């Protein structure tokens, strides 16, 4: 019989943090009979597994040294070795067991009786023994033996003992939640219950044992200013995960009094609009354009949140952007005249270099004329365009096309009033190479641009992006978005109206503009602007390894964003489409179903996703991801919670906005 001192001692031991953890409903499943620094083999039996509610592949087990008392399990030391089940392992007497099992199956089959009827009790107990092959993930420990000692995790073990002292426990739902969320956020404003632990596609045992209730909490701060990858096939829940994260970060910014701008590149219009099924969406995070702005080719004039995703192709301030769009759009046309056209440089030279500036003006006439020919309408040029023109030739031109020239600042200088005038001038001059030798030589790019007037391959390509032009548009969309990021708004760029090439060019240009503005702010020793860039269908925008860092805004973003406090969340079904430099700088990983071992092999280069490769390829369940976060110490399999209207209203409440009912605007 235990003495009072022993009882008091045991009671004190049970209150220590890790001892308390083991006694919080955890169930014994066996013991370690072989342990090294990386792996462990756990002896178990069918009865213990049944009592514990099943042990899935990938599941957590906890190995501890200690003894069972009437009051609970008491640890020898405040140390728990965390194991992950990789599969089964053969027992030392496995060959003998196989022979016995074979005999049992044969005898039962021949006699037509149950297995138990052809074996005795001792044999049945022996046959039910098996072993788990486990990976050693690390050690939970405390630095002191006090009751309130902090629990730490080390990603290894600092000693290996050969004695059979380690007993192994399956965590309860509460302990599993603690393991999956470790280290748990201390500030509730930093916590997001992103979903629940899920080890297997088959969930019957987990449901019966109540293990499907283990919440997984993540640190929202992990997803601010860092890079996050969301991988998975189409219709496996990537967008749901992205919406959950965007909404949570929006709430996080409001609760912490921080302005965190978020920019979403939306290739399908999925984020810009309310979902017809659940009647909710990200646009409901704000009631007007002070909080949310949605850039569309055809915005709704009655909704202040919707803004035009257009440029005035004739506005001088956006000339570089327009030329990039046109050049990229015509890139598939691989003829010599198209290549010569794209090689033209429309960068404005020094105004004091009158000759060079005049040649540039003539190249601009050819370009504006080309845009007019391709259907880009505008009554007038927003900024005056003045070029040199011989008086006698100008008179001859005006006789044929009245009004295409207006008097300039001095004799021999003329203003071009409109795109239509530029087109008439370009055609008239282009047809007279002998009279305008200067504009047809190699120093002037007029002829390079005029040279594609008659080729439908180029002109048809240019016509394909007319939706992005409006003569009423003012300013640069990139600068508007920079202002949105400064104000901490949610900005959604709806790219569904254009083709993939236009989406790629437009997004790259915007990212480059934001990086340049952030760089200017950094060099000026100003506080960085916190922002998140969210990219759906990233494989359509990223170009793996194709360019130098300075030419690839996505790689540049991965390398420079940390010092600018710019986060990146990208979703794609193709790991191999992402530049390795981006992958290497990614802090958070959420991996859903991938159907190709080509993709899982690439993924296996990072952390220990190799362990999960088979599960990733076989389990197609929507929202079932394997997650590694910046704060997380190991990969956790999670069933991500479904994005819903309650999440939206929680974010609205944090921002001081009243709750809204699910929208009926798309009914």
Q: Look up the CATH number of the domain holding residue 637.
A: 3.40.50.300
Instruction: Return d(Cα 170, Cα 14) in angstroms, integer.
Output: 18
pTM score, whole prediction = 0.85
Domains identified in the chain, total number: 3
Say whether both 320 and 464 belong to one domain: yes
**What is the spatial distance between Cα 615 and Cα 286, in angstroms, rounded to a whole number?**
39
Position 95 in a domain: yes
User: Residues for the chain: how many in total?
Assistant: 667
Choosing from 136, 171, 206, the residue where a domain stops is: 171
For residue 650, give both structure tokens.
Answer: 């929680």
Q: What's the order of all strands across the beta sheet hosting 406-407?
A: 385-388, 413-416, 406-407
Same domain, 431 and 513: no
Please tell me whether residues 585 and 607 are part of one structural domain: yes
* Interacting residues of 344 by C-beta distance below 8 A, sequence separation 6+: 363, 445, 448, 449
Q: What is the CA radius of gyration of the chain?
A: 34
Contact 46, 70 (CB under 8 A): no
Q: Which residues of the chain are modeled with pLDDT < 50?
A: 1, 545, 666-667
Contact 581, 558 (CB under 8 A): yes
| Inside any domain, residue 181 | no
Collapsing DSSP states into helix, strand and coil, what is residue 316? Answer: helix
Q: Dihedral through CA 506, CA 511, CA 517, CA 523, nearest 10?
A: -150
- Shared domain for 66 and 147, answered yes or no, is yes
- Nearest by Cα to 196 from 529, 632, 623: 623
Answer yes or no: do 545 and 449 share one domain: no
Q: What is the pLDDT of residue 115?
A: 56
**Are both 38 and 142 inside the same structural domain?**
yes
Quote the CA–CA distance of 75 and 166 in Å, as a whole number. Answer: 10
Query: 358 and 403 in one domain?
Result: yes
Chain mean position to CA 420: 45
Residues 244 and 361 in one domain: no
In a domain, 216, yes or no: no
Could you give the C-alpha distances from 417 to 314, 327, 384, in angstroms and in order? 12, 25, 7
Q: Do residue 452 and residue 502 come from a single domain? A: no
Triad 39, 44, 47: Cα angle to 5°? 155
Backbone angles phi, psi at 70, to 5 degrees: -65, -25
**Residue 195: inside a domain:** no
Q: Report in angstroms the alpha-carbon separations of 356 from 241, 248, 306, 324, 350.
A: 53, 54, 42, 22, 8
Say whether both 144 and 254 belong to one domain.
no
Establish if 659 belongs to a structural domain.
Answer: no
**Residues spanned by the domain of 552:** 223-309+477-654
Residues in Cβ contact with 581 at an 8 Å cutoff, skipping those fewer than 6 apart: 549, 555, 558, 559
CB 500 within 8 A of CB 262: no
For residues 107 and 243, what is the distance between their CA atoms, to the nearest angstrom? 58
What pLDDT, on the 0 to 100 scale, is given for residue 95?
67
Please state, in angstroms and as integers, the Cα–Cα distance from residue 253 to each residue in 174, 189, 589, following that order.
Answer: 29, 10, 22
Same domain, 267 and 368: no
Q: Evaluate whether 568 touches 533 at the Cβ level (below 8 Å).
A: yes
Phi/psi of residue 469, each to 5°? -110, 140
Q: What is the pLDDT of residue 543?
A: 63
Asked if residue 182 belongs to a domain, the reply is no
Strands 39-45 and 129-142, sheet pairing: antiparallel
Give exposure, 248-271, as e/b (b: 16+ Cβ within 10 Å). Answer: bbbbbbbbbeeebbbbbbbbeebb
In a domain, 416, yes or no: yes
Shared domain check, 325 and 293 = no
* Residue owning tokens 């009245």: 402
Tokens of 28: 């014994």
Residue 667: the pLDDT is 43
438 assigned to some structural domain:
yes
Cα separation, 146 vs 151, in Å, equals 11
């Amino acid at each position: 019989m235990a003495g009072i001192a022993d009882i008091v001692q045991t009671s004190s031991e049970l209150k220590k943090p890790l001892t308390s953890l083991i006694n919080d409903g955890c169930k014994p499943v066996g013991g370690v009979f072989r342990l090294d620094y990386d792996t462990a083999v756990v002896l178990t039996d069918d009865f213990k597994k049944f009592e514990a509610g099943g042990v899935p592949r990938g599941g957590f087990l906890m190995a501890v040294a200690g003894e069972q008392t009437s009051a609970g399990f008491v640890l020898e030391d405040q140390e728990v070795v965390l194991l992950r089940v990789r599969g089964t392992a053969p027992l030392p007497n496995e060959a003998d067991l196989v022979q016995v099992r074979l005999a049992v199956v044969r005898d039962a089959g021949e006699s037509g009786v149950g297995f138990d009827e052809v074996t005795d009790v001792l044999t049945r107990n022996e046959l039910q023994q098996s072993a788990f092959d486990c990976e050693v993930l690390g050690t939970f420990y405390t630095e002191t033996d006090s009751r309130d000692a902090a629990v730490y995790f080390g990603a290894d073990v600092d000693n290996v003992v050969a004695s059979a002292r380690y007993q192994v426990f399956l965590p309860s739902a509460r302990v599993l939640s603690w393991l999956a969320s470790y280290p748990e956020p201390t500030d509730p404003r930093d916590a997001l219950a992103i979903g629940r632990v899920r080890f297997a596609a088959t969930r019957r045992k987990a449901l019966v044992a109540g293990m499907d209730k283990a919440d997984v909490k993540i640190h929202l701060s992990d997803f601010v200013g860092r890079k996050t990858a969301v991988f998975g096939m189409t219709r496996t829940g990537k967008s749901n995960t992205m919406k959950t994260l965007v909404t949570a970060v929006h709430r996080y910014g409001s609760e912490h009094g921080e302005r965190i701008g978020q920019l979403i590149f939306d290739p399908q219009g999925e984020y810009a609009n309310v979902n017809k099924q659940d009647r909710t969406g990200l646009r409901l995070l704000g009631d007007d354009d002070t909080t949310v702005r949605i850039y569309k080719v055809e915005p709704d004039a009655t909704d202040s949140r919707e803004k035009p995703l257009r440029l005035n192709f004739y506005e001088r301030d956006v000339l570089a952007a327009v030329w990039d769009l046109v050049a990229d759009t015509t890139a598939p046309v691989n003829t010599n005249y198209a290549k010569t056209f794209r090689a033209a440089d429309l960068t404005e030279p020094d105004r004091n270099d009158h000759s060079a500036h005049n040649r540039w003006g003539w190249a601009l006439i050819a370009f504006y004329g080309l845009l007019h020919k391709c259907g880009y309408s505008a009554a007038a040029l927003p900024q005056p365009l003045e070029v040199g023109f011989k008086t006698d030739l100008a008179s001859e031109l005006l006789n044929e096309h009245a009004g295409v020239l207006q008097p300039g600042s001095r004799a021999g200088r003329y203003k071009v009033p409109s795109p239509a005038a530029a087109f008439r001038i370009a055609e008239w001059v282009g047809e007279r190479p002998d009279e305008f030798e200067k504009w047809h030589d190699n120093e002037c790019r007029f002829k390079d641009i005029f040279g594609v007037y008659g080729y439908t391959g180029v002109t048809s390509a240019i016509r394909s992006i007319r939706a992005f032009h409006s003569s009423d548009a003012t300013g640069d969309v990139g600068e508007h978005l920079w202002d949105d990021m400064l104000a901490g708004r949610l900005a959604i760029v709806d790219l569904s109206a254009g083709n993939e090439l236009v989406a790629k060019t437009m997004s790259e240009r915007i990212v480059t503009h934001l990086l340049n503005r952030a760089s200017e702010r950094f060099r000026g020793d100003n506080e960085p602007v916190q922002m998140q860039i969210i990219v759906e269908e990233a494989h359509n925008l990223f170009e793996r390894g194709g360019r130098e860092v300075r030419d690839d805004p996505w790689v540049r973003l991965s390398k420079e964003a940390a010092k600018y406090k710019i986060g990146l969340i990208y979703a794609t079904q193709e790991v191999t489409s992402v530049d390795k430099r981006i992958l290497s700088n990614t802090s958070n990983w959420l991996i859903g179903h991938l159907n190709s071992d080509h993709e899982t092999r690439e993924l296996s280069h990072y952390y220990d996703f190799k362990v999960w490769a088979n599960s990733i390829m076989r389990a197609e369940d929507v929202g079932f991801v394997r997650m590694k976060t910046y704060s997380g110490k190991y990969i956790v399999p999670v069933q991500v919670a479904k994005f819903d209207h309650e999440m939206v209203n929680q974010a609205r409440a944090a921002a001081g906005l009243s709750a809204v009912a699910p929208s009926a605007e798309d009914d």
